[in-house]
């Protein structure tokens, strides 16, 4: 584990930025605009999953799980202690953040150029699970972590509830994205689910929440950092659609996956428990698969 992710803030750490109001307003406006555009362009609904066989579902209904999880995160007790992120070595923090931004921007640019669909998974694993941790480890090897992160002491149940609510509402019931009309063979489905759990559930949460969001919080302030990381998380999903204008795909990705990123980012910001974000993400992608394999969903 990179040394800069140790969950405590040193006494000599610089105080995290209180936030830049203009940046915060602009980022919030991007999300509001993306949601509005997506609703106006697709009044009948949208398909969130990149897998075939899903039917469109209304946008407002599909936003409920993320909103419910975010609200629950705010209402549940944080525990004792803070969860702030503070800059310890400013120059290193900026360099690391720049390199992480380069990686998250390189991924959607390189993905369409890959010869095989399976290479998408390999590229994500390489960038998010190998290159990013290696870069941060090398940066912290001599001078120590560039940022310090507080981690509140809390019980397990408050941290566990939001990811379960997020995944449950998004999978079953009126707010769900539905299920595909046809399924691949169980063996193929299981392999794909495991690969997705590792590269998306673990890899994306490690990159966008623990690595990137934490540094952006320390440099820009908590909410600006959270929203920018969530915006980039949403945009990453725009290239996976392969249809329609790029701007429309980007708006939909920000509206749907970006708001999910906000919910997951709020969990990370409040408790600094990455396992909760990973659990929520894995279940978002895999709970419908599990229910199908158990015979609950046909």
Give pLDDT tens digits for 128-161: 999 999 999 999 998 899 999 999 999 999 999 9
Domain range holding 222?
3-293
Strand partners, 33: none
In a domain, 233, yes or no: yes
**Count of the separate structural domains present in the chain:** 1
Token representation of residue 109 = 């640019």
Residue 7 makes CB contacts below 8 A (sequence gap 6+) with 149, 150, 151, 272
In a domain, 298, yes or no: no
In a domain, 38, yes or no: yes
Give pLDDT tens digits for 266-278: 999 999 999 999 9
Residues 244, 253: Cα–Cα separation, whole Å: 13
In a domain, 105, yes or no: yes
200, 240 contact by CB (below 8 A): no
In a domain, 66, yes or no: yes
Instruction: Say yes or no to pLDDT of 77 above 80.
Output: yes
Provide the 8-state DSSP code for 204. Answer: I
| pTM greater than 0.85 (yes/no) | yes
In a domain, 84, yes or no: yes
Token representation of residue 261 = 């990123």
In a domain, 286, yes or no: yes
């Amino acid at each position: 584990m990179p040394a800069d992710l140790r969950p405590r803030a040193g006494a000599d750490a610089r105080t995290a930025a209180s936030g830049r109001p203009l940046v915060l307003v602009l980022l919030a406006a991007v999300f509001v605009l993306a949601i509005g555009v997506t609703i106006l362009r697709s009044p009948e609904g949208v398909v969130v999953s990149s897998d075939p066989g899903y039917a469109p579902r209304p946008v407002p209904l599909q936003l409920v799980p993320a909103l419910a999880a975010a609200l629950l995160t705010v209402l549940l007790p944080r525990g004792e202690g803070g969860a702030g992120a503070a800059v310890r070595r400013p120059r290193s923090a900026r360099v690391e953040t720049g390199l992480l931004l380069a990686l998250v921007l390189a991924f959607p640019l390189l993905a369409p150029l890959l010869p095989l669909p399976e290479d998408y998974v390999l590229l994500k694993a390489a960038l998010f699970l190998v290159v990013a941790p290696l870069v941060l480890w090398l940066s912290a090897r001599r001078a120590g972590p560039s940022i310090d992160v507080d981690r509140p002491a809390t019980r397990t149940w408050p941290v566990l509830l939001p990811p379960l609510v997020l995944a449950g509402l998004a999978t079953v019931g009126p707010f769900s994205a539905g299920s595909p009309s046809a399924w691949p063979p169980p063996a193929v489905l299981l392999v794909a689910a495991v690969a997705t759990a590792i590269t998306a559930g673990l890899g994306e949460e490690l990159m966008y929440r623990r690595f990137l969001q934490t540094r952006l919080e320390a440099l820009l302030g908590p909410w600006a950092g959270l929203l920018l990381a969530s915006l980039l998380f949403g945009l990453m999903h725009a290239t996976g659609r392969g249809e329609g204008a790029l701007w429309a795909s980007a708006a939909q990705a920000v509206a749907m996956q970006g708001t999910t990123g906000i919910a997951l980012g709020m969990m990370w910001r409040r408790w600094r428990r990455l396992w909760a974000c990973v659990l929520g993400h894995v279940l978002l992608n895999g709970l419908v698969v599990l229910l199908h394999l158990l015979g609950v969903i046909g």
